[in-house]
Amino acid sequence: MTDLSAEIIALSDEYVLGLLTPTEAALVEEIMARDIELAQRVGDLRDRLLPLDLSAAPVDLPEGFGVQVAEQLANKDQLPKMQFAGVPTEKPANQPAAPKPWLAGMLAASLAGIAVGFGVAWMQPAPAPKVVAVLMDAQGVPQAVVDDYGNDTATVRFVADVPVPADRSLQVWTLPSADMGPTSLGVLTGAGAAQLSFDDLPDPSAEQLYEVTLEPLGGSPTGRPTGPIIGKGFAAEQT
């Protein structure tokens, strides 16, 4: 069970009230999906606030409403189901950005307050990251968050369940400049929170690309991303 930070709990309260932006709400939902404690907190507050919904004067449904809904279900149900959030996409790593890069930026910007103390005790006292990047899969679902502190240190946290086969590793990358090309920030055996330290990279800047790929055990043999992208996103500068 995660040690939930006060910030995440406060965000989840605002989530129940309907005060979050869609991207913030998506993040809370992702965390709820893997953290039963947070899901229970949300459910509990919802239930306690329910009397406020029950004070609305009931309104009769128009005639045939149920039939209309049933027809809509029958039509819309033919649409393909959304891909499960945790399934790695089969896109090669060199394909262009995720569908909504601006979304990642917005989410990262709104995460400024969450970046510190996310149940990661060893980060205390928490310095402020220079940039935060939210890495999303091809469906725009947040998978991981990278906080880059400059001085060749960064942390990565996963906000979705990312399955990693026993013979594979996760690898975190960034693109400091077109000249340098994709550069490894570290290899992980599983989708857990990790501190990354690396050598001699320029300090991160806004809009810098970060991504996590699935690679052969021990990391990419070529020094460049070769496997499917788990998530990618652009850095938002923290002020």
Partner 1 sequence: MQNLTVALALPRQAFPFIPTGLPITVWEFREESILAKDTDADARSTLLSRALADCAAGNQAGVDAILESEGRQLLGVAQRILARRDLAEEALQDAMLQVWRKAKQFNASSGSARGWIYAILRNRCLNILRGDKRLSTLAPADLATLQESRQQIVPEEGWEILAGPSRIRDCLGGLDSQSRHAILLAHVAGYSHAEISTRQDVPLGTIKSLIRRGLQALKECLS
Neighbours of 100 (CB within 10 A): 15
Shortest distance in whole angstroms from residue 90 CB to partner 1: 24
Widest distance between CA atoms in the chain: 69
Residue 54 or 178 having the CB closest to partner 1 = 54
Stretch that binds partner 1, among 72-80, 141-149, 153-161, 231-239 (CB under 8 A): 72-80
Q: Could you write out the DSSP letters of every residue in 136-197? A: E-TTS-EEEEEEEEETTEEEEEESS-----TTEEEEEEEES-TTT-SEEEEEESSSS-EEEE
Q: What angle do CA 103, 191, 176 make, to 5 degrees?
A: 55
| Among 73, 121, 166, 178, contact with partner 1 (rule: CB under 8 A) | 73
Shortest distance in whole angstroms from residue 239 CB to partner 1: 14
Binders of partner 1 among residues 135 to 164 (CB under 8 A) are none
Stretch that binds partner 1, among 44-52, 135-143, 201-209, 220-228 (CB under 8 A): 44-52
According to the binding rule CB under 8 A, does residue 84 interact with partner 1? no
| Among 8, 27, 28, 42, contact with partner 1 (rule: CB under 8 A) | 42
Instruction: Report which of 174, 183, 176, 175 is spatially closest to residue 144, judged by C-alpha positions.
Output: 174
According to the binding rule CB under 8 A, does residue 60 interact with partner 1? yes
According to the binding rule CB under 8 A, does residue 94 interact with partner 1? no
Residues 6+ apart with CB under 8 A from 35: 1, 2, 4
H or E segment at 7?
Answer: helix 6-17
Neighbours of 70 (CB within 10 A): 10
| Among 2, 4, 8, 22, contact with partner 1 (rule: CB under 8 A) | 22
Residue 54 or 121 having the CB closest to partner 1 = 54
Instruction: Report which of 111, 126, 107, 145 is spatially closest to residue 23, judged by C-alpha positions.
Output: 107
| Among 2, 3, 34, 48, contact with partner 1 (rule: CB under 8 A) | 48
CB-CB contact of 170 with 162 (8 Å): yes
Spatial separation of the C-alpha atoms in residues 88 and 135, rounded to whole Å: 12
Residue 9 or 97 having the CB closest to partner 1 = 9
| Among 27, 30, 69, 101, contact with partner 1 (rule: CB under 8 A) | 69
According to the binding rule CB under 8 A, does residue 47 interact with partner 1? yes
| Among 1, 57, 121, 166, contact with partner 1 (rule: CB under 8 A) | 57
Contact residues for partner 1, defined by CB under 8 A: 10, 13-14, 16-19, 22, 25, 32-33, 36, 39-40, 42-62, 65-66, 68-70, 72-73, 76-77
